[in-house]
Amino acid sequence: MKIFIDGQYYDENTAKVSVFDHGLLYGDGVFEGIRAYHGRVFRLKEHIDRLFFSAKAILLSPPMTNEAICEAVLATCRENNLRDGYIRLVVTRGVGTLGLNPNRCSKPSVIVIADKIQLYPQEMYEHGMAIVTVPTVRNLHSALNPAIKSLNYLNNILAKIEANNAGVEEAIMLNSEGFVAECTGDNIFIVRGNELLTPPLAAGALYGITRGVVLDLARDLGLRVGEPNLTRYDVFNADECFLTGTGAELIPVTKVDGRVIGTGEPGPQTRKLTELYHALTKTSGAPIFG
Ligand code: PMP
């Protein structure tokens, strides 16, 4: 595998960053998880735009333009002959001193890794997954805004550990007010009658690219789409529940905190939206090979 670091390609075992990079020392940096399907990078522009928004929020200026980073992602896929896979794009603050001060960092680094991913077992896509609510609440906007896809993912990792300890793969994170925010690496949706609902971004969710695509698909399907505050009660009593993410795509949830959701099997709207999502990934995206 060839890994892009600051304009050059390195083999897996020589692709290294400095121990003085503030991305390592402090989680100071931003990232994206992007997916390629059938020789096209899905929603590339949206991912790069979000990367730049995250970077702006932490006053980090990527050392390449938006267009140059798009091209680096496509070129790294080409270099690895990758048609289907998962791309991790990272911008770190760069090499600095042992103090926090980002102004001491000389130049941000851009890293692109083009690899494969299988987030959840196939069985869960067919029959649904069980999730739980965990005690770790989502970061406050006023502390570390969850909209920033930063290299500091400890809030999510702690929740993920709690999910694993409870014997499940994903967890609902509530915000400090007790409303449902999202999961550790996925956005959450419920279906109620002909309504598709997902927590508002202000509840503490990432501006999920898959979330946006699914909301558009649902509108096209004629579902009523809403982004109200949701409580655990709303989730327990939903007809259907599913999660979305670039890695996860759409995955049905059939049990939450021991409560069976709907019929206990993936519901019809979840199946329909999954089908439409897969159809879209087959036909849309930035071509890797021109
Ligand atoms: N929430 C969190 C916390 C995430 O890390 C992610 C990405 N893995 C998502 C939601 C889903 O976002 P996207 O659809 O853009 O991948």
Q: What was the pLDDT predicted at 26?
A: 98
104 C-alpha vs ligand 1 centroid, how far in Å?
31
Q: What was the pLDDT predicted at 290?
A: 79
pLDDT tens digits for 116-166?
988 899 999 999 999 999 999 999 999 999 999 999 999 999 999 999 999
Spatial contact of 259 and 238, defined as CB atoms under 8 Å apart: no
Q: What was the pLDDT predicted at 118?
A: 80
Model confidence at 289: pLDDT above 90: yes
pLDDT tens digits for 158-182?
999 999 999 999 999 999 999 999 9
Q: What was the pLDDT predicted at 153?
A: 97
pLDDT tens digits for 223-279?
999 999 999 999 999 999 999 999 999 999 999 999 999 999 999 999 999 999 999
pLDDT tens digits for 3-59?
999 999 999 999 999 999 999 999 999 999 999 999 999 999 999 999 999 999 999
pTM over 0.85: yes
Ligand 1 pocket check for 156: Cβ under 6 Å: yes
Task: Indicate the pairing of strand 195-197 with strand 187-192.
Answer: antiparallel
Mutate to test the pocket of ligand 1, among 86, 136, 187, 189 (most ligand atoms within 8 A of CB): 187
Beta strands in the chain, from DSSP E residues, in sequence order:
2-5, 8-11, 29-37, 40-41, 85-92, 109-115, 129-133, 171-174, 180-183, 187-192, 195-197, 224-226, 240-245, 249-256, 259-260, 286-287
Element (H, E) at 67: helix 66-79
205 C-alpha vs ligand 1 centroid, how far in Å?
8
98 C-alpha vs ligand 1 centroid, how far in Å?
31
- Report, as an integer, the average pLDDT of 59-81: 98
pLDDT tens digits for 91-102?
999 999 999 999
Ligand 1 pocket check for 206: Cβ under 6 Å: yes
CATH topology of domain 122-282: D-amino Acid Aminotransferase; Chain A, domain 2 (3.20.10)
Mutate to test the pocket of ligand 1, among 88, 90, 206, 277 (most ligand atoms within 8 A of CB): 206
Q: Architecture of domain 2-115 in CATH?
A: 2-Layer Sandwich (3.30)
Ligand 1 pocket check for 33: Cβ under 6 Å: yes
- Distance separating alpha carbons of residues 113 and 96, to the nearest angstrom: 23
Q: What was the pLDDT predicted at 1?
A: 95
159 C-alpha vs ligand 1 centroid, how far in Å?
14
Model confidence at 87: pLDDT above 90: yes
Hey, where are the domains in the chain?
A: 2-115, 122-282
